[in-house]
Amino acid sequence: MAGFRTYRGQQWIERPRDEVFAFFADAGNLEVITPPWLRFRVLGMDTPRIQQGSLIRYKLSLRGIPFGWKTQIRTWDPPYRFTDVQLSGPFALWHHTHVFHEANGGTMMTDVVRYRVPFGFVGRIVEAIQVRRDVRRIFRYRRECIERVFPPKA
């Protein structure tokens, strides 16, 4: 996997790990936490619920260009972790690991995304100028949504 970028983010959520994992184990919730400017929609799955090997199909729009996206769940270890890998879509590589640890009476959620933009040298320039910023913006939006879904307990 040479030549890829890594995004790493963490967020503490004041809820039990099982509850947080269950939210992320529902593919429909991806639409809830994805920015509206991506026009992201889950089209379907080949299994009734997410599990090891599940194939999930989406559609989205990047900078007004529509894409299909297909991922596979490569690792499924509830309620500790799962990994989705792009099989087809806008990236040359997309490998996203979600990790859930019990911490301070809640859950520390860690995202590690390894990605590569297609088109060689030109893709690396586009990644440096725009894609890296877009990935951070997507996860910033996601963080804000998760804070609304799991507000701090009073």
**pTM (predicted TM-score):** 0.91
Domain ranges of the chain: 5-149
Residue closest to 115 by CA, chosen among 130, 134, 94: 94
How are strands ordered across the β-sheet holding 81-88? 5-13, 106-116, 93-103, 81-88, 65-77, 55-62, 41-45
CATH of 5-149, one of 3.90.226.10, 3.20.20.70, 3.40.50.720, 3.30.530.20: 3.30.530.20
pLDDT of residue 2: 58
pLDDT band at 1 (very low <50, low <70, confident <90, very high): very low
Residue 3 has pLDDT above 80, yes or no: no
What lies within 8 Å, CB to CB, of 66 at 6+ separation is: 39, 59, 60
Residue 69 has pLDDT above 60, yes or no: yes
User: Tens digits of per-residue pLDDT, 70-105?
Assistant: 999 999 999 999 999 999 999 999 999 999 999 999
**Alpha carbon 109 to chain centroid, angstroms:** 12
pLDDT band at 120 (very low <50, low <70, confident <90, very high): confident
Residue 123 has pLDDT above 70, yes or no: no
